[in-house]
């Protein structure tokens, strides 16, 4: 388990220019002309460093802020360092057994981290920024070099996410959503084919696609023709209550490959019609074909806010 009483955000060079080197070599770099003031920093004479910054034209307040950032770097007492790169939160601890040194390019100093910079939690689940609270990811817009995270709840949140733990209520809600998706699958299977087609139409319409044809009144292998207004992309949707890999390959995939006017195909079904036990989900290697099976479509129904519609339909 990862533990820390202090967490600091650090920007690895202006515009992230040092990121690649830091991640590859397992180091943390800091500027502030610390290579020029290296002896002062090693000796911990922070008042002298503040005066140096002040003498270079900074206000007293800015000079003190710069000095405090350098102090945190040189007197690291178990700080958990975090940064953001390539849409991921990355974290590391400095290796106290390795000395701080001036960088060979004469721009600041660096120190080794323990093992490496991590971009996943302790269970190897990637820490994507899209899944991280905005209270934390807003640090990516911070214009300074480093910043102490002082809010106790934010510190606890970061450490909890690194340890692969969720806020209890969030974890419970996730379990409830998973159970609800299972119920949605069961309810979908009670729909008539026409009602299932209507549900598919509602889901796609809610996600931005515009239907260009009447549901169920096109050719045999096409239930809906869609267009995405933002890009002009055209696609067709085949909706089947039950299907299997064989009839998908022989009837629908082959038909799609012969219809050059469409750049994309969606195949939506809620039941596998096959003899395998357990039933084998339908798959397709063609990147222009999206297979949407029962579990995936149930999540789409939930996300689209159509659960109540479905409940009313089958009640």
Domain locations along the chain: 7-162, 170-314
Quote the pLDDT of residue 221: 47
Could you give the CA distance from residue 20 to residue 73 in angstroms, rounded to a whole number? 20
Q: Are the beta carbons of 106 and 36 closer than 8 angstroms? A: no
Phi, psi of 29 (to 5 degrees): -115, 145
Could you give the CA distance from residue 149 to residue 142 in angstroms, rounded to a whole number? 12
Quote the pLDDT of residue 224: 85
Counting Cβ atoms within 10 Å, is residue 38 exposed (0-12), middle (13-18) or buried (19+)?
middle
Read off the pLDDT of residues 136-189 as tens digits, 9 standing for 90 and up. 999 888 888 999 999 999 999 999 999 998 766 777 888 899 999 999 999 999
Quote the pLDDT of residue 275: 63
Instruction: State the pLDDT confidence band at 204, using cuts at 50, 70 and 90.
Output: very high
Say how far residue 122 (Cα) sits from the centre of its chain. Answer: 16
Read off the pLDDT of residues 93-144 as tens digits, 9 standing for 90 and up. 999 999 999 999 999 999 999 999 999 999 999 999 998 999 999 988 888 8
| Buried b or exposed e, range 9-19, using 16+ CB within 10 angstroms | bbbbbeeeebb
Q: Please, what is the Cα angle at 254 between 188 and 226, to 5 degrees?
A: 55
Residue range 203-223: average pLDDT?
71
Q: For the chain, what's the residue count? A: 315
Q: In the numeric block, which tokens belong to residue 168?
A: 């209890």
Tell me 165's DSSP state. Answer: -
Instruction: State the pLDDT confidence band at 263, using cuts at 50, 70 and 90.
Output: confident
Of residues 281 and 48, more confidence is placed in: 48
Q: What is the mean pLDDT of the chain?
A: 90
Q: Which residues contact 39 (CB under 8 A, 6 or more apart)?
A: none
Does residue 302 have a pLDDT over 80? yes
Quote the pLDDT of residue 83: 96
Quote the pLDDT of residue 152: 94
Residue range 67-79: average pLDDT?
95
Closest by Cα among 175, 181, 125 to 296: 181
- Does domain 170-314 fall under CATH 3.30.200.20? My reply is no
Read off the pLDDT of residues 23-43 as tens digits, 9 standing for 90 and up. 999 999 999 999 999 999 999
């Amino acid at each position: 388990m990862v533990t820390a009483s202090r967490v600091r955000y650090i920007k690895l060079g202006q515009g992230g220019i040092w990121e690649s080197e830091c991640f590859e070599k397992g180091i943390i770099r800091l500027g502030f002309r610390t290579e020029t003031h290296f002896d002062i920093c090693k000796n911990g004479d922070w008042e002298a460093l503040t005066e140096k910054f002040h003498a270079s034209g900074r206000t007293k307040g800015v000079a003190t802020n710069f000095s405090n950032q350098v102090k945190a770097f040189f007197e690291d007492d178990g700080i958990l360092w975090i940064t953001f790169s390539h849409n991921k939160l990355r974290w590391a601890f400095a290796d106290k057994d390795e000395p701080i040194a001036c960088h060979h390019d004469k721009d600041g100093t660096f120190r080794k981290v323990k093992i490496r910079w991590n971009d996943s939690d302790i269970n190897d689940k990637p820490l994507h920024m899209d899944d991280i609270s905005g209270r934390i990811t807003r640090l990516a817009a911070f214009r300074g070099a480093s910043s102490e995270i002082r809010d106790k709840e934010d510190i606890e949140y970061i450490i909890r996410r690194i340890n692969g733990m969720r806020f209890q209520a969030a974890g419970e809600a996730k379990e409830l959503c998973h159970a609800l998706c299972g119920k949605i699958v069961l309810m979908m299977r009670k729909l008539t084919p026409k009602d299932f087609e209507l549900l598919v139409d509602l889901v796609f319409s809610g996600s931005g696609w515009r239907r260009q044809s009447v549901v169920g009144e096109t050719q045999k292998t096409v239930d809906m023709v869609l267009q995405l207004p933002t890009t002009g992309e055209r696609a067709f949707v085949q909706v089947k209550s039950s299907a299997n890999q064989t009839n998908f390959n022989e009837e629908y995939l082959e038909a799609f490959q012969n219809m050059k006017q469409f750049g994309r195909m969606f195949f939506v079904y809620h039941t596998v019609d096959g003899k395998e036990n357990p039933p084998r989900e339908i798959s397709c290697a063609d990147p222009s074909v999206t297979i949407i099976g029962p579990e995936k479509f149930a999540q789409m129904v939930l996300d689209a806010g159509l659960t109540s519609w479905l409940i009313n339909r089958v009640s």
